[in-house]
Each structure stands twice: as C-alpha cells, then as structure tokens.
Structure 1
C-alpha cells in the first residue's frame, strides 16, 4: 500500500487513521516520513499533489539546469508585481512531484556555514539549533562518493571528514565534468582578486573558490532527488501510505483541545479525481509543503493573521500574525561572455566572498552606516508588508544578519562561474538579503495559488551589494588569466552595460534582468513568538498541540550555501525530535 499508484485502494477505506499525516511529499516530507515509518507499528500517511517521476527524463536528466521548468512537474508560480524592481512579476518555480523541488533544482550540495547555524540559537533563541547539533544530521543524510582521479584532475576536491558515506542521499561529482584547464584558470583569476581556494565548502566555512558536489547517482548518471533517496527504496513498507491530492486544510478536534491549544484530528484534501477525502491523524499533522504552500495551508486551516482570515471568511483557530511573513529570497543576475574555446561539460564552480573582499578599506564605514539604518529598514519593511510586525523584533533579526555580515565577517556573496560550448557565465546573488516580504492566500479556495511577494530590493543595501557583486563579476572577467579567453560580452549587451558602466547603469540593469533564486524561506519561522515566530524549537506551531512545520519555511534567516543539504539535515533532526530521541 506504500506505492503511490495504490493510494486509490487505500482511499476506499477512508477515512483511515494514521499516527502521522504528512502534508507534502517533497524534500522534507519524504525524509520525515521515511524516518518515522522506520518504527514498526507507527502508521504514516503522505499527501502529495505530484506523482512518481522516476522515469521522467526532465527529472532524472543531469545534462542541463531547468529541464523540468514550465512542465507538469513545476507548479509554475509567479510573484506579485515587485514594487522595488520595476513592478515586474517574476516567474517562480517549485517542484510538483514526489520529491518536491529536489526534482527540478540545480542539484547543488552546499551546506550552510557553521556560524550561520549557530546564530539560530545564540541570537534568535532557538534552543538546541546550533552547528554541533545539526552537523551529525548532515552526515547522516549523505551517501558521499569521493571524486575519481579524472574528476580530481578536473578540479574536484574534498575533505573526507566532512562527508557521510552511509546516508540515503547520493552525493558525488558528475562524470561529465569539464576537463582541461578551465577550473585552474578560474581559480587563478580569483586568487589574483584575493579570493583563496577552498578545498571543501561543506565543513562549515564557505569562503573562497571551490568546485562543489551534486545530488546525483554518479553510476546511473541520474538526479538523486528526495524520492530516489528516501521514498522509492522503502515504498513497500506496509505502515507507509501515500495519497495523491491537493490539501484543503487541517481538520480540528474541538472536543479534545487542551486549554488554549487546538488539536488537529486530520487533513482534508482533494484527490486527483477531484473527490474530497479525509485522512485522520491520532498523533500529529506535519506540514511539509514548502515555503509557498505551508503558510497557505495554515491560513486555510484558520491559523494566521485574523485580518486575512476574516477577509476570506475563514474562522480563526489560532491568531498568529506572523504566518506567511518574513519571506526571504535572493535576486539572481547573470552576465554572459563568448570564448573561442569549446568548453563542453559540467563546471560547478562557486566563489564565496565577504564584504571585506568586495569593499576593502570602506567596510568599516559601510558597517556603521548600515547599522544606523536598521531601525529605518525595520520600519520600512513593516510598512511595505501592510503594517504587520513589530519594529523592535524585526530590528533584532536584522541586527543578527548585520552581525553575520560585518562583525563575524561571514561570506555573504555567491558567484557561480560556469560554461557551455562557446559561452562563459557568472551568476551571482546576495546571500543574506535584508528585504523581506510575504506569502499569503488570495482566497479561501485551496486551488488558488498563494500570493508570493519577496519584496526584492526593498532595502537599499541589497541594491548596493548586488551592484557591487556585479562590478566584481565584471572585474573577474577582465582579470588575467581568464580575460585571455573572453571574446565578446553578450549579456547584458555592451550598449546597456558598457565596460565603464556607472553604478546607476548597473543598478538599472540588475533590477530589470534578475530572476528568483528559488531559495524562499522564513514564512513559518522558527523563532520565539515575541520575535515573530510561527513554530517553536520543536517545530510545533504556536497555539497548537500537535501540528508541526518541517520545511524551508521554518528557517528563520537566509543561509549561504544552497537549501537542499540543510533541509535534509533539519528534517533528519526533526524526525528525532518527534521520536523523542532528542530532549
């Protein structure tokens, strides 16, 4: 009964009772469902809108990025008009399949930095959430294959102690890596600009140039998504059942509510035939629908800002104004050049830099100026988000972020360098944007897509830093030895951004040409309630007895690196919290 294709048979017995009902069969949902169903006798149900895509070449293929975009495995969202970025709506991709967005992402395996994770506990009050506690779960999830001799010659390197070998998630370097000297040329050029080589970014320190591993099955040469790693190998477990459908809402047991906390009794969803079904939960409902869908499901279930709920005639079960707020994503720009050389193969090159790397002697003055602006930024952000939030609480979050960038000097800039045929590219973004937006329902109809508003470039520092990164990326391509490979600049066109472009010209181009980075998080943040939290350190939703959120929406603040590896680790730790393994 575990296979998705047999869910209809299970539905004939509905409403069935399970110990745990997991909303969303994506990266986090499948990880948690796997670990909970390891215990015989514990019954787990997963409800997922997408299907089994293990034979879909747009999912399994590793030959290019974005193969699954704008296909049936992509929700194909769009943001609201971005007021601070030319009022344009930005395409927003998210996976609609068993495996979630891990079926369509860039397969990047780069963890967050040690001090970033430590800040979750030290500065933000999330007891137990620090690097030392999370790091073992990075290792537990990972099944790392060291690079071959040929891959090492192509730039792959690693520190053995940083990697787990026995985890379900295959992590390795692709056989199709670009060979030749390009990685050495890129590395040497960054050294000319003062950026060191980092032999392995996955040990908690990201600073420098590195060649990263990917979530792929090297021998089969296919993507390793969450379904491949955590679901398909164990889908025959009799105590794990999957249903295909879109969740309407969480159901409540009003008779069993304990004190002021509400108790979830199950989940209502619409199956693939359009029939409304119910699955009951005797222990917990676990929301793992992602940073877009999870806050929407909470709101549809009566947990959220009463003003929003009242607008759509949804009875308020828990007044929690922060649901859907604190949304953070990174704007992604790219510049493109041609070369007379042929560069065929994967070139997963990344450079992480600090503000000191970019601004040098100006850094201290910039640190003071930005610190003096935190109150204004907090006030501006709350005004932009319809007055929701507390200035003092938001300032504390912004100050934590400011400390990460300026006091601790963490890498806050990411620049990818890659190539394809006769093209060379830099894609880049700010790791820790100060701009914050929201995700909210637009009606009481669960079939209606939520409103996604990251408020890209709301805070002027984000514009300043993105512009400085662009200048640095152009500087890179104008520095030897890589400069000798450049023939022409193709994007942006030289007439739009000439070689001597002003900051104003760069800023204008940046705001008109960026894309979403698809690293949205924070919309059900793990924070003390007084700081705008939606879940506590056990990931339990405030005001509920037995509803947890486990996905990117609980991450309180942006991370450098890429989300996937951290989401697996958070989910592994969350499963142990639920099992009672952790205090």
Structure 2
C-alpha cells in the first residue's frame, strides 16, 4: 500500500528523506524506464526513478502519430538552445528534448531504424570489448514487438524480413495507419532505383543501404505513439518495488569514508514544491538523463574536468576530463518543393535512403579518401585545441581514423536522405551520418536549474560542410529525375534562385537531435568516461546508460539502438548480483 500511495501522489518531504532503494535511476526516459522495468522484474529488488517530467499519456501532442513537433516548445520539451555556433554563421540552434515519462521517445520522430552492423562492431574496435553487432542484435529483438504489415500497408510500401524482428518485446514497432494510399512509395522507389539505389526490404537486419520504407514506434491498433512509458512503465506500474518520483536531480551524494573508488550513497533532488530532498541507493545510482543532462549531473557531483569544476566552485571528487566532451550531432538541411498534386502529401511518408561514399563521389572516391586521410592529424589537433586539450590528439586521431575507415574503406552508409512531407511541401531532409566535428556540454554554474552550455561546434571541421553540400546536391538530383520530377513544381526552400553552397549549408541547417558521446564509452587511457560495464571510471556504483555513452555516430536512428543498449545494460547489472 505504501508504494501505491507514492505512485499515485508522490510522498511528502519527510517520507522521501528516509527512503532507501536498491537502485536509484536518474531519468525516466528511453533508457531509464527500460532498465527500471528489467531490474524491478525481480520482486526483491527495489527501484526508484526520478524524472522531472510528468505522465503525458493523455496529451495529444505526445500521443498523436501525426503530431510531430506539436510538443516542441511546450512544457513537455526542455527547450535547450546551443551556444553561438561560430563555425555555422554564429547562430544558436534549438535542441528539443523530452521532459516527460518516456523522455525524448515521447516527442521524437517515431523512426525505428537500427544501425549498420559495422558501426556497432566499431565500438569494440575502439576498445569496448563485448560491444559488437552479434552481442547487441538479440537485444534489438528483445525490446521489440513487431506488428506485421496489413495488406494495405504492404501495398503502400511496407515490407519486412521476419528473422530480423522480435515479436514479444515491450516496444510496439510497425507501420502506422496514416501511411498514404496510392503509388507514392513506388514512384519514390523507382526514382531512387533510376539513380542506382536499390530497394532494401528491411533496414533492421544490420544493413541499411539503399531505399526503404521504414517502420515506426507506434501502437497501430490504438493509433498512438509507442514511447518508453507506454512500453516499459505503464504495463508494470503496479509493481510494489518500482516507484516514479517527480523531481530534478541536483547531484550525486558520495559516501565520505571511502578510500578507493568513490561510492555513491544516493542523490539529492529538488521536488516540485521546491524542497531539497534525498534518496539513498543500497546498490547503484544509474544516470539516464540523456546526452545533455547526464554529463551536467556528473559535473555537479564533482566528476569531470578539474578546471570546469573549480571554475564553478564544485569540490573535485573524481578528476575525469572527458566528461561533457566528444559531443557529436548531425547537421540537417531541408529542401522543399511544391507538389503538383496536393493529395500526394497526405499521411506519413517514412521513406529513407542511405548512401555510401562511393555513391556520392564515384570515380573521385580514391582522391577524396586520400585527401581527407591526410587531413586527420590537422583535424585531431583542431578538435583537441577546441577542447582546451581535454581530449588528447592521440585519442581523437584513433577515433577519426576509424571513422574514416568506415566511410571510405568499409563503405558503410555515411549519409541519409528522407523523402518526406513537411506541411504542404514534398521535401528532402538530408544529413551526413558521421560528421567529424565534435563539441561539448558543460555546466556554467553550480546551480542545477541553470542549463548547461551546449556547444556541438557544428562545422568546426570544414569537410563536414563539403560533405553536407554533396548530399544536398544528390537530393536535388533526385527531384530532377523521373518519375519524381513530374511530382513537383518549383523549389520553394531555398527559393529557386538561391544557390546550394557552403554558405547555405552553414546558415540554414538545424540539429538532428541525435547528440551522443558526452559520457563516452572508451578505455580510460583514450579519454573514456565509462567502461564496458558502463560504470563511471573512479566510481564503484555509478553507471551511465543513455546516448551519452555511445562512442560515435551511427547510421539508422538512435531510439532502436538505445533500447538495445539499455536492455543489455540491465543484464550487465544483473550479472553483477
């Protein structure tokens, strides 16, 4: 009964201050709720999740499959802004991040596309033993409840390969009822095929190359978004050993009498009524607050670059310089065309094309590969200096060389083009999948309510501009190729008279909201923040489980991979029991 009271109404300050749990999870988003579900499946294990957001299960801005963007700049969105991006026309860039049960899975674009297998294998190449495609693929399937397409959806382009999917997991994945009828998918497919890109019947088996009609995180029968709360929390919310507490975590509390690695005894948080309260963890504190919040909470707790901690009057508990560094995101540019037939744009158009360097550069590939390879020492130096030498040149060189090899030797997909609808226009949304630029996320105050400084440093490596422009030019070629050509009239953004050039790329892009790397999983000698068990170096019982641990960018989209990482992380935790 005690726990049910907490679930329904949150306990008073006095009650919360004396509560101990085996696991305290900071963040009730994609990864946090996945881990909470799995750990609390053992009835003798108690789990508390602290989440600043609320239950939004009846908020149409969240639940609507056609409602992408409706939750942006509302109370369900953290509404971050980047610092001025000095290599990108000095503009500030919006960052939307979910502030709700389910986190960003409650406001994202619903895309379910897994990574290319070589991208996951690259994690192990960087020194993360055991993190590869063969170990992660079962967890992709474990998290998934794939819904077989209906005949009408198949006619609209839906397809799948049965062995790639799971059918009994928590996350509903499939095709929405809002897919358009008619021949649009076929016309887009034929156009890409005319340009040399074959149809991929299912991008979720480790190969995303080519054109595909991708599935989404939707509950088709209920016609609602299938976010992490609906998948992992609502079905088990009556467990008496699992509680959800509303609050903003201020810092991790450390046990003061530990002589070796730091031992967390709990967290301090601010409740909605403004009172500062504490929860205690008998076993572990798990950070799942996302790639912006997780590094900030580590810094607020005295874990990070000593210079930044000292500047903000925070006692140094664990000097770990890479906290908040290695921030990577993908710059996204959009091209819009007026459709000749308005009803072509009805419904959701989940059409993705994944492109290799060979596709983009053709006979010039070898020359470009050699030129960019020769530039990597300079790029590593530039990035290291931008981090005030917090990330070493050798570490960055190792990362960039592997990324270069994936792009130019392994020929993994390195760019993505969405053929889609934006309001009344047909559109191409285009981005490089693995930009070489890297930035940071750091606190600027000891006040946890102040947002951290978010600086992805878009285009600090100028090659990323060249690459993004090449992808945009391919999108333009798509709309100039039959049969897509007859579907559109004049280009409306940028207007027909505007040249697609470097200035346009830098001035009109937006963030892809795929930020990774700010609590990077790497060997400590390479500047890592967490090891292969996702435990923070220098601690005995603090782990990070969210996008901040991903060591590099991926093809596909983050959501599916984050569910898989969290599923595997839960097993790693339970293996320590």
- Report the Cα offset of residue 11 of structure 1: 6.0
Taking a change above 3 Å as real, the CA distance of residues 479 and 245 of structure 1, as seen in their structure-2 partners, is same
- Report the Cα offset of residue 133 of structure 1: 0.5
1:222-274 per-residue CA deviation (whole Å, 9 max, x = no partner) reads: 0000000000110111101111010000000011x2x4310000000000111
1:469-502 per-residue CA deviation (whole Å, 9 max, x = no partner) reads: 01100011001111011111100012223xxxxx
Residues 295-444 of structure 1: matches in 2 within 5 Å? 295-341=295-341, 342-343=343-344, 344-419=346-421, 422-444=424-446
Partner Cα distance (1:368, 1:414) in 2:
23
Residues 187-206 of structure 1: matches in 2 within 5 Å? 187-206=189-208
2:91 partner SS: coil
Query: Which structure 2 residue ranges, 5 or more long, are not aligned?
Result: none
Residues 90-489 of structure 1: matches in 2 within 5 Å? 90-121=93-124, 123-255=125-257, 257=258, 259-341=259-341, 342-343=343-344, 344-419=346-421, 422-489=424-491
Is the 1:351–1:415 contact (alpha carbons within 8 Å) kept by the matching residues of 2?
yes
Taking a change above 3 Å as real, the CA distance of residues 10 and 141 of structure 1, as seen in their structure-2 partners, is farther
- Report the Cα offset of residue 362 of structure 1: 0.4
User: Which of 13-22 and 365-374 deviates more?
Assistant: 13-22
Is the 1:345–1:420 contact (alpha carbons within 8 Å) kept by the matching residues of 2?
no
- Report the Cα offset of residue 422 of structure 1: 4.8
> Match of 2:83?
80
> Match of 1:533?
528
- Report the Cα offset of residue 5 of structure 1: 3.5
Residue 575 in structure 1 maps to residue 570 in structure 2: yes
Taking a change above 3 Å as real, the CA distance of residues 370 and 134 of structure 1, as seen in their structure-2 partners, is same
Is the 1:4–1:52 contact (alpha carbons within 8 Å) kept by the matching residues of 2?
no
Partner Cα distance (2:436, 2:140) in 1:
27
- Report the Cα offset of residue 385 of structure 1: 2.2
Partner Cα distance (2:201, 2:443) in 1:
44
Is the 1:7–1:241 contact (alpha carbons within 8 Å) kept by the matching residues of 2?
no
2:286 partner SS: strand
Taking a change above 3 Å as real, the CA distance of residues 13 and 553 of structure 1, as seen in their structure-2 partners, is closer
- Report the Cα offset of residue 541 of structure 1: 0.2
Q: TM-score, normalised by structure 2?
A: 0.98
Is the 2:61–2:67 contact (alpha carbons within 8 Å) kept by the matching residues of 1?
no
Question: Structure 1 residue aligned with 2:502, among 499, 507, 524?
Answer: 507
2:53 partner SS: coil
- Report the Cα offset of residue 387 of structure 1: 2.7
Partner Cα distance (2:459, 2:299) in 1:
27
Is the 1:15–1:277 contact (alpha carbons within 8 Å) kept by the matching residues of 2?
no
> Match of 1:543?
538
1:513-556 per-residue CA deviation (whole Å, 9 max, x = no partner) reads: 11110000000001001111000000000000000000000000
Is the 1:436–1:456 contact (alpha carbons within 8 Å) kept by the matching residues of 2?
yes
Taking a change above 3 Å as real, the CA distance of residues 465 and 13 of structure 1, as seen in their structure-2 partners, is closer
> Match of 1:57?
60
2:247 partner SS: strand
Is the 1:209–1:351 contact (alpha carbons within 8 Å) kept by the matching residues of 2?
yes
- Report the Cα offset of residue 317 of structure 1: 0.5
User: Which of 5-14 and 366-375 deviates more?
Assistant: 5-14
> Match of 1:501?
none
Is the 1:4–1:51 contact (alpha carbons within 8 Å) kept by the matching residues of 2?
no
CA RMSD in angstroms, aligned pairs only: 1.2
Partner Cα distance (1:31, 1:42) in 2:
15
1:114-146 per-residue CA deviation (whole Å, 9 max, x = no partner) reads: 11101111x201011011100000000000001
Partner Cα distance (1:552, 1:392) in 2:
24
User: Which of 543-552 and 376-385 deviates more?
Assistant: 376-385
Partner Cα distance (1:581, 1:440) in 2:
31
- Report the Cα offset of residue 154 of structure 1: 0.2
User: Which of 135-144 and 177-186 deviates more?
Assistant: 177-186
Partner Cα distance (2:439, 2:18) in 1:
38
- Report the Cα offset of residue 581 of structure 1: 7.4
Partner Cα distance (2:98, 2:423) in 1:
28
Is the 2:13–2:277 contact (alpha carbons within 8 Å) kept by the matching residues of 1?
no
Partner Cα distance (2:40, 2:487) in 1:
54
- Report the Cα offset of residue 382 of structure 1: 1.4
Partner Cα distance (1:447, 1:107) in 2:
29
Partner Cα distance (1:550, 1:107) in 2:
21
> Match of 1:565?
560
Query: Which structure 1 residue ranges, 5 or more long, are not aligned?
Result: 498-504
- Report the Cα offset of residue 178 of structure 1: 1.0
Taking a change above 3 Å as real, the CA distance of residues 171 and 291 of structure 1, as seen in their structure-2 partners, is same
Q: How many residues align?
A: 572
> Match of 1:70?
73
- Report the Cα offset of residue 108 of structure 1: 0.3
- Report the Cα offset of residue 10 of structure 1: 8.3
